Structure 1
Amino acid sequence: MKLAVFGATGGIGRQLVRQALEQGHAVTAVARRNAEDAAADGARVAIVPDFSEVDRLRDAVAGCDAALSGVGPRTRADGAVASGVTRHILAALTAAGVPRFEAVSAAPVGPRPAGDGFLDRRVLHPIVSRVFAANYADLEVMERDIAASGLTWTVVRPPRLTDQPRGEYRIAIGGNLTRARFVSRADVAHLMLALLDDDRARDTVVGVAR
């Protein structure tokens, strides 16, 4: 497949580029600044310093079969980065006729699954949700925009991200997982690529965790 990867200089984005190339996909890494790692791995790099320039984004993704986004807040201070950037990406994909889009959100977005234990339900989830409330509120906006875009979409919701190597992970189609504590960025990228051809993941959310 011909894939566009947004956020290619970030942790998940780098994994997406590397693993997609290893699987034989043709990859265009779309980034605001020089994506040296992506270029070294063999990806075509499209530098778009300002993602609000939708025409330039459209040109970067023209001819792609799908787009994957690792764009999201890196710190609590990042605010509404996800929804604003994703809105421009969606406009560019629609203009270019790219039919498939996958994006990363977060496990605290959406209702908690039945069966979560006391520690997750009453302690961990409330604390994390309160500390990062602004980030998660923005991700909720992003998810709504994606669902209303008219594209075939998948939103992946990981918990705390680590830099561990890829390993065994669990998924939940259509919602969040119980006991979702952490998952590696390599796991998330592997899942996103696997879901491209999975009809169960069309127009829905997918929870993931170790």
Structure 2
Amino acid sequence: MRITVFGATGAVGQEIVRQALSTGHEVTAVVRDPARLPEGLRAADPSGVVPLGDAAAVRAAVAGRDAVLSGLGSRGRKAGDVAERLTRQVLGAMEAADVRRLLVVSAAPVGPEPADDPLLDRAVRRVIGTVLKEVYADLTRMEAALAASATDWTSVRPPKLTNGPLTGTYRTVVGGTPRSGRSIARADVAHAMLALIDEPGAVKQGVGIAY
């Protein structure tokens, strides 16, 4: 499968590239700073590593691809419009190249709260939501942009991200959020995104994911 990965220098993005290459996919990485992509993740694809700021190169990087995966987002609490703005650039490139399948990383608080979640989990979620209010507002706007697009998008919504190992064992809820879902490793988020590429039930849906 031919895949383009945006945000490939981020923790989730690097995992997507690493796992995609290990399973035989052809990968092109689109990054804000090409120098930050580890040498071992530089794919053997002719387009290789593409800077996000080069609009023509970005359009060429998504043209003819089977899927586009994005790990773009804020690296801190002051998100501004990072996820929304950069995702709109991805959407523009995909529209210009007539490419439809898109998977992005969002966050659990953007999705619905499980009706049967314990009170403690609800309280913790609200505290975190207050601390990261700007980040989640940016992701909410990003998801609105996805919904208004012509792409076959999927938004993967993890809770707290960890640097744990790949397990391949986690819960997913299409259109919802796993009960008491408190954490998941970035490696498993990447694994889920790759697994969802060919899942028709996940198209134009948010997918909650957690251990």
Q: Mind listing any 5+ residue stretches in structure 2 that lack a counterpart? A: none
Partners of 2:147 and 2:23 lie apart in 1 by: 28
Partners of 2:208 and 2:67 lie apart in 1 by: 20
Partners of 2:115 and 2:121 lie apart in 1 by: 11
Q: Any residues of structure 2 matched to 1:38-117 within 5 Å, and which?
A: 39-43=39-43, 44=45, 45-50=48-53, 53-117=54-118
- 1:95–1:39 distance in 2 versus 1, CA, 3 Å: farther
Partners of 1:169 and 1:116 lie apart in 2 by: 17
CA deviation profile, 1:33-92 (whole Å, cap 9, x unmatched): 225655523514333252xx5333112222211100001112102322100100011000
> SS of 1:188's equivalent?
helix
4+ residue runs of structure 1 moved beyond 6 angstroms? none
Whether the 8 Å contact between 2:105 and 2:155 is mirrored in structure 1 is yes
Whether the 8 Å contact between 1:8 and 1:35 is mirrored in structure 2 is no
Q: Structure 2-normalised TM-score?
A: 0.93
> SS of 1:155's equivalent?
strand
1:14 and 2:14 equivalent?
Answer: yes
Q: Any residues of structure 2 matched to 1:106-185 within 5 Å, and which?
A: 106-121=107-122, 123-167=123-167, 168-185=169-186
| Corresponding residue of 2:32 | 32
Letter in 1 for 2:21: L
Letter in 2 for 1:6: F
Aligned residues: 207
Letter in 1 for 2:135: N
Partners of 2:198 and 2:27 lie apart in 1 by: 17
Whether the 8 Å contact between 2:30 and 2:52 is mirrored in structure 1 is no
| Corresponding residue of 2:3 | 3
The farther-off stretch of 8-17 and 144-153 is: 144-153
RMSD: 1.5
> SS of 1:138's equivalent?
helix
Partners of 1:146 and 1:90 lie apart in 2 by: 8
% identity of equivalent residues:
48
Shift of 1:11: 0.3
Q: Any residues of structure 2 matched to 1:168-207 within 5 Å, and which?
A: 168-207=169-208
Whether the 8 Å contact between 2:34 and 2:51 is mirrored in structure 1 is no
Letter in 2 for 1:46: V
Shift of 1:180: 1.4
Whether the 8 Å contact between 1:18 and 1:38 is mirrored in structure 2 is no
- 1:20–1:38 distance in 2 versus 1, CA, 3 Å: farther
> SS of 1:91's equivalent?
helix
Shift of 1:161: 0.5
CA deviation profile, 1:148-190 (whole Å, cap 9, x unmatched): 1111110000001011001221111111121111100000000
Q: Structure 1-normalised TM-score?
A: 0.93
Partners of 1:22 and 1:133 lie apart in 2 by: 36
- 1:97–1:128 distance in 2 versus 1, CA, 3 Å: same
Letter in 1 for 2:62: V
Letter in 2 for 1:201: A
